Amino acid sequence: MKLRPGAVQALFDRSAHLLRDRITPLTEVVSEDVRTLERAVLEPDDDAEALAALEGWATSRLRAEALADASLAVAIAERVTADASIVRVEQLSEVAGVSIRPLQRLFRAHLGASPKWVIRRNRLQEAAARLERGEATQLSALAVDLGYADHAHFARDFKNAVGESPASFRARLSRAP
């Protein structure tokens, strides 16, 4: 089962960061016997019946208070995507109306990542998109526009995330048919 951001805490009462970037057997995160669920999902010949069984099980586990916090975390993270001018955690904290430390705890528990990571990921996705569209002629200007202190920090982050420098990425795109 693939979960949407925020679902881990609401379904399993565990902080999302504990399950991030790994495949975890259901038996490790639920206390009840999962054999009944396995039978309900795997035995029906009808996919709709199997899906209904899985949805029923998941719905019965959802905790309302965790869902509210998860929805808040997702909404705040979506603000980062919607507003490219948010390049620092302090800005996000101000826009969201949540102090920095509670914001960090909220993201860690429900998204499995820090606000800084979400902001960095968004900045790098924006950089890649601009490079793909041919909008970034000067990489140093792109770095500043995305809130980096200098080109070197931008290039390091980009290479760590994408696997190649911004210049190599742009050159490869320009050679593509």
The whole-number pLDDT of residue 66 equals 79
Could you identify the residue written with the tokens 């970034």? 136
Angle at 59 between CA 111 and CA 33, to 5 degrees: 95
Contact call for residues 9 and 72 (beta carbons, < 8 A): no
The whole-number pLDDT of residue 148 equals 94
State the architecture of 118-175 in CATH terms.
Answer: Orthogonal Bundle (1.10)
The whole-number pLDDT of residue 154 equals 97
| DSSP codes, 125-138 | HHHHHHHHTT--S-
Q: Convert the pLDDT of each residue in 94-134 to its tens digit.
A: 999 999 999 999 999 999 999 999 999 999 999 999 999 99
pTM score, two decimals? Answer: 0.76
Q: Is a pLDDT exceeding 70 seen at residue 1?
A: no
The whole-number pLDDT of residue 20 equals 82
Q: Is a pLDDT exceeding 70 seen at residue 12?
A: yes
Distance CA 18, CA 24 (A): 10
Indicate the residue type of 110. Answer: H
Contact call for residues 96 and 79 (beta carbons, < 8 A): yes
The whole-number pLDDT of residue 169 equals 96
Segment 12-20 long-range contacts (CB within 8 Å, at least 24 positions apart): 12/61, 13/63, 13/66, 15/108, 15/109, 15/112, 16/108, 16/109, 16/110, 16/111, 16/112, 17/108, 17/109, 17/112, 17/113, 18/112, 19/112, 20/112, 20/113
Q: Convert the pLDDT of each residue in 24-83 to its tens digit.
A: 888 888 877 788 888 899 999 999 999 999 889 888 887 777 788 889 999 999 999 999
Q: How many CB atoms lie within 10 A of CB 123?
A: 23
Average pLDDT over residues 13-18: 83
Domain ranges of the chain: 1-113, 118-175
Q: How many CB atoms lie within 10 A of CB 165?
A: 15
Q: Is a pLDDT exceeding 90 seen at residue 141?
A: yes
Q: Is a pLDDT exceeding 70 seen at residue 21?
A: yes
Could you identify the residue written with the tokens 């808040």? 72
State both tokens at 175: 């050679």
Average pLDDT over residues 78-96: 95
